Amino acid sequence: MKVAGQHYRTIWPENGGQMNGSQANGSQTVAIIDQTQLPHHFKTLRVDSVTAMVSAIKTMQVRGAPLIGAAAAYGMALATNVDSDEHALKQAAHELLASRPTAVNLAWAVERMLQVLLPLPESERCAAAWREAAAICDEDVTINQAIGQHGLAMLRTLAKELQRPLNILTHCNAGWLATVDWGTALSPIYAAHDAGLAVHVWVDETRPRNQGASLTAWELQQHGVPHTIISDNAGGHLMQHGRVDCVIVGADRVTATGDVCNKIGTYLKALAAFDNRVPFYAAVPTPTIDWSMCDGLREIPIEERDAGEVAYMSGMAADGSVQAVRVIPAGSAAANPAFDVTPARLVTGIITERGICPPGELQRMIKEANP
Ligand code: MRU
């Protein structure tokens, strides 16, 4: 996607642009967009070790399930710069896996890297690691573009039915900042906008980290997509008054049975959508599906983040400085579960790179059709 007219991915090897993995010589680093600075400052950062990548993931300088997976893959590549023996790779994998628990893309990417690297002679692992991380990134872009096209077909049908511009509600940030490029939930929206379909996006602010207000709104603005930021509590009211035509969200982990784990507050939007007969879609790349799980509520680990994220909000002051202010009484307790699970029964459809299906048909559409 473009920032001020220049094309960016959210993560790239820092060695003269599109470095070929075969050129890896143990000195490559990785560049990321520091998402904690947005929307106020657009800054890129150099990440030069697996420890620095673990920290970037934990502090959410990189975030969003597919991007966390890509960042973890590059974290493994950074580890091979220093040491490619089995013990070192397993130690790097262990540190990356502990950085954030909910998005399954992280474990998926780390396991894929280990599977590719460990059978190779040690001397070949570094080049192979950089090559594999780049492949994971390229695949993510292709997957998200396909999600965009399948979602576009669904939006075209809805627009034809309603004969008016579409109002789409989204929660958190599942745009290009949350992936390598294009996004998941926002990919159909970009595709629709680019195809000339009139769309307007209701952007949930998404407390406590405000990914909607800070990141989704910024992205949509860069792309020229009409949007309005709403408080997290406004969505149900808008749905009751016919002002939302569909909801599209991303996901951090989806079970084989179609339960959708996503940013905290998604479940409440799904309940309101169900009550108001508003179609509710989750846009899900297949690496976000955890085929080992069938009961999202019981099985998916939910990250508990620091209560300080609830107690403090940060923003730009009148003098242009970015400041954090406390918004709760000193001494009050705060809790910060970061994700929730929307049961499959509340989900109209899952948009994947292979097509759209009801949640209960995920396994048939993807696994059985493509064993
Ligand atoms: O805590 P975050 O910002 O990493 O959470 C992100 C989300 O919940 C996204 O909706 C999800 O990862 C899908 S991203 C395409």
**335-362 per-position pLDDT tens digit:** 999 999 999 999 999 999 999 999 999 9
Average pLDDT over residues 320-325: 93
pLDDT band at residue 226 under the 50/70/90 scheme: very high
pLDDT band at residue 24 under the 50/70/90 scheme: low
CA distance 17 to 26: 16
**130 and 153, same domain (yes or no):** no
Please give the pLDDT value at position 367: 82
**30-54 per-position pLDDT tens digit:** 999 999 999 999 999 999 999 999 9
Final residue belonging to a domain, choices 98, 115, 139: 139
Amino acid at 245: D
Q: How far is the CA of 174 from the centre of ligand 1 (A)?
A: 6
**207 and 349, same domain (yes or no):** yes
- Give 230's contacts (C-beta < 8 A, 6+ positions apart): 202, 203, 204, 205, 238
Q: How far is the CA of 175 from the centre of ligand 1 (A)?
A: 9
- Determine contact, residues 72/62, Cβ cutoff 8 Å: no
Q: Domain with 10 in it: what CATH number? A: 1.20.120.420
Ligand 1 pocket, mutate which of 140, 211, 284 (most atoms under 8 A from CB): 211
Please give the pLDDT value at position 21: 45
The Cα-based distances of 105 to 10, 22, 91, 102, 232 in angstroms read 16, 25, 19, 9, 26
Average pLDDT over residues 256-277: 98
> Among positive and negative, which fits the CA dihedral 40, 46, 47, 52?
negative
Final residue belonging to a domain, choices 111, 139, 167: 139
pTM above 0.85, yes or no: yes
**131-154 per-position pLDDT tens digit:** 999 999 999 999 999 999 999 999
Give how many domains the chain has, as a whole number: 2
- Determine contact, residues 110/93, Cβ cutoff 8 Å: yes
**62 and 177, same domain (yes or no):** no
pLDDT band at residue 20 under the 50/70/90 scheme: very low
Say yes or no to pLDDT of 26 above 80: no
The full DSSP string for 159-206 is HHHHTS-EEEEE-S--SGGGSSSS-STTHHHHHHHHTT--EEEEEE--
CA distance 352 to 283: 6
Please give the pLDDT value at position 18: 43
- Determine contact, residues 213/205, Cβ cutoff 8 Å: yes
CA distance 244 to 236: 9
**48-105 per-position pLDDT tens digit:** 999 999 999 999 999 999 999 999 999 999 999 999 999 999 999 999 999 999 999 9
**267 and 308, same domain (yes or no):** yes
Mean pLDDT of the chain: 96
Average pLDDT over residues 6-10: 96
Please give the pLDDT value at position 15: 79
- Within 6 Å (CB) of ligand 1, which residues are found? 63-66, 103, 172, 174, 178-179, 184, 211, 250-252, 262-263, 338
Percent of the chain with pLDDT over 70: 97
Identify whether 252 is a catalytic site residue. yes
Average pLDDT over residues 116-143: 98
From the candidates 140, 181, 204, 252, give the one annotated as an active-site residue. 252
287: tokens are 């690496």
Please give the pLDDT value at position 25: 63
Greater confidence (175 vs 19) lies with 175
The full DSSP string for 312-342 is EEEEE-TTS-EEEEE-S-TT-----B-EEEE
Range of lowest pLDDT (2-11, 142-151, 176-185): 2-11
Please give the pLDDT value at position 223: 96
Final residue belonging to a domain, choices 106, 139, 172: 139
* Domain assignment of residue 131, given as a range: 2-139
**29 and 122, same domain (yes or no):** yes
Ligand 1 nearest-atom number relative to CA 68: 4
**189 and 328, same domain (yes or no):** yes
Please give the pLDDT value at position 96: 98
Ligand 1 nearest-atom number relative to CA 63: 4
- Give 329's contacts (C-beta < 8 A, 6+ positions apart): none
**134 and 152, same domain (yes or no):** no
Q: Domain with 337 in it: what CATH number? A: 3.40.50.10470
**126 and 195, same domain (yes or no):** no
Q: How far is the CA of 178 from the centre of ligand 1 (A)?
A: 6
Q: How far is the CA of 160 from the centre of ligand 1 (A)?
A: 30
Please give the pLDDT value at position 185: 98
Please give the pLDDT value at position 19: 44
**115 and 164, same domain (yes or no):** no
Closest CA to 22 of 13, 32, 10: 13
Q: Would you call 321 exposed, middle or buried from its count of C-beta atoms within 10 A (0-12, 13-18, 19+)?
A: exposed
Ligand 1 nearest-atom number relative to CA 263: 8
CA distance 134 to 124: 16
**351 and 271, same domain (yes or no):** yes
